[in-house]
């Protein structure tokens, strides 16, 4: 009999993977963390029953949360990542040689340890530019110096449990304070199809804090709906103004992201255009 791991969305949609074996399953102070070998997606990470990432499709997510911001902020030196415990987002940021420091604030050290052991290919943990802080990202941003980061990336899980406080106006206002003039804030903003109310709330609330809040889209098979969204927020940067020098550092080696994907990802479907007007 096959063992299946399934994630259910509102008791209406179910997405599952056949599991070959469980590699890690422990409850931390904050949440249940599981890593398992699957038949279709390689090793996969789940937290509190929700799929987070897998070896075979992680690049779709990590390249898209990182590079649209990185290639439109020329010479970005300091980047803050909130969350991102699997290491993939930091890995993609560190591919840019202009970066001098990446501060990554992850609340749950057990996530980091589990991924280092069982998903080591996701991270670049030994890069000396990476400063890993196990702590509360909400508090860190609240206390951060003004104008201290070129880019802030919110790589949080769904807005429940310890991640709930990462999706509100107070947090976004503190992020804005931490960004230097000409900086960019990018965050995952859920599925516009099966989590539409959350998606709309994120984009609208971020839009109240920044002059520009542009959602963009791409595929992430593991997240059930197929299509996923991120939101690009800034007071002064044009998300379509790709800096060729920044792009040249990463484009040829990305598995998914390139300049054409960048441009197309910001196209807004008519139904969402009407809702966000």
Give the pLDDT score at 1. Answer: 52
CB within 8 Å of 184: residues ≥ 6 apart: 69, 72, 73, 150, 151, 152, 232, 233, 234, 237, 239
The whole-number average pLDDT for the span 178-201 is 95
The domain boundary residue, chosen from 38, 54, 70: 54
Give the pLDDT score at 226. Answer: 79
Buried b (16+ CB within 10 A) or exposed e, 46-68: bbbebbbbbbebbbbbbbbbbbb
Give the pLDDT score at 10. Answer: 81
Same domain, 82 and 36: no
Give the pLDDT score at 31. Answer: 96
Q: How many CA atoms lie within 13 A of 22 on its CB side?
A: 10
Q: Which secondary structure element, helix H or strand E, spans residue 154, and what is its range?
A: strand 149-155
Decide: helix, strand or coil at residue 96. coil
Active-site residue (options: 48, 155, 238, 260): 155
Same domain, 50 and 63: no
pLDDT digits (tens, 9 = 90+) for 110-151: 999 999 999 999 999 999 999 999 999 999 999 999 999 999
- Of all residues in the chain, the percent with pLDDT exceeding 70 is 96
The domain boundary residue, chosen from 28, 54, 80: 54
- On whether the CB atoms of residues 232 and 68 are closer than 8 A, the answer is yes
- Closest by CA to 265, choosing from 186, 170, 162, 158, is 186
Beta bridge partners of residue 8, listed in sequence order: 14
Same domain, 80 and 116: yes
Same domain, 23 and 44: yes
Q: How many domains does the chain have?
A: 2
Buried b (16+ CB within 10 A) or exposed e, 76-87: bebbbbbbbbbb
Same domain, 47 and 73: no
Same domain, 131 and 175: yes
Give the pLDDT score at 37. Answer: 97
Same domain, 92 and 43: no
Decide: helix, strand or coil at residue 45. strand
pLDDT digits (tens, 9 = 90+) for 206-262: 999 999 999 999 999 999 777 999 999 999 999 999 999 999 999 999 999 999 999
Q: How many beta carbons lie within 10 A of that of residue 93, not counting itself?
A: 28
Give the pLDDT score at 157. Answer: 65
Residue 82 lies in domain: 58-276
Q: pTM of the full predicted structure? A: 0.95
Same domain, 96 and 13: no
Where residue 183 sits, what CATH number does that domain have?
3.40.50.150
- Residue 27's alpha-carbon distances to 6, 126, 161, 166, in angstroms, are 18, 26, 14, 21
pLDDT digits (tens, 9 = 90+) for 148-188: 999 999 998 665 554 566 678 999 999 999 999 999 999 99
Give the pLDDT score at 9. Answer: 85
Same domain, 62 and 22: no
Same domain, 77 and 49: no
The domain boundary residue, chosen from 54, 71, 91: 54
Q: What are phi and psi of 101, to 5 degrees?
A: -150, 135
Where residue 14 sits, what CATH number does that domain have?
2.30.140.10
Same domain, 229 and 250: yes
pLDDT at 2 over 80: no
Rounded to the nearest 10 degrees, how much is the dihedral formed by the CA atoms of 164, 229, 273, 168?
A: 20
Same domain, 48 and 143: no
* Known active-site residue 155: yes
pLDDT digits (tens, 9 = 90+) for 19-42: 999 999 999 999 999 999 999 999
């Amino acid at each position: 009999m096959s063992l299946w791991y399934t994630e259910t969305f509102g008791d209406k949609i179910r997405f599952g993977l056949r599991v070959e074996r469980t590699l890690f399953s422990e409850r931390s102070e904050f949440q249940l963390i599981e890593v398992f070998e699957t038949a279709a997606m390689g090793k996969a990470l789940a937290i509190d029953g929700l799929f987070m990432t897998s070896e075979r499709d992680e690049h779709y997510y990590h390249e898209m949360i990182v590079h649209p911001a990185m290639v439109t902020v020329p010479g970005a030196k300091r980047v803050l990542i909130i969350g991102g415990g699997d290491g993939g987002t930091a890995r993609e940021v560190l591919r840019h040689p202009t970066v001098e420091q990446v501060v990554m604030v992850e609340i749950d050290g057990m996530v980091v340890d589990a991924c280092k052991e069982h998903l080591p290919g996701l991270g670049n943990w030994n890069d000396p530019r990476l400063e890993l802080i196990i702590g509360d990202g909400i508090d860190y941003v609240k206390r951060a110096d003004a104008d201290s980061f070129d880019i802030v990336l919110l790589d949080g899980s769904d807005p429940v449990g310890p991640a709930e406080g990462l999706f509100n106006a107070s947090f976004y206002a503190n992020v804005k304070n931490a960004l230097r003039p000409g900086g960019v804030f990018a965050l995952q903003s859920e599925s516009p199809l099966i989590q539409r109310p959350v998606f709309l709330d994120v984009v609208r609330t971020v839009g109240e804090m920044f002059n520009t809040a542009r959602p963009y889209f791409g595929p992430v098979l593991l997240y059930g709906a197929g299509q996923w969204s991120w939101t690009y927020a800034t007071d002064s940067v044009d998300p379509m103004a790709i800096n060729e020098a920044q792009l040249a550092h990463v484009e040829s080696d990305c598995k998914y992201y390139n300049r054409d994907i960048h441009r197309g990802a910001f196209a807004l479907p008519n139904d969402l255009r009407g809702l966000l007007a």
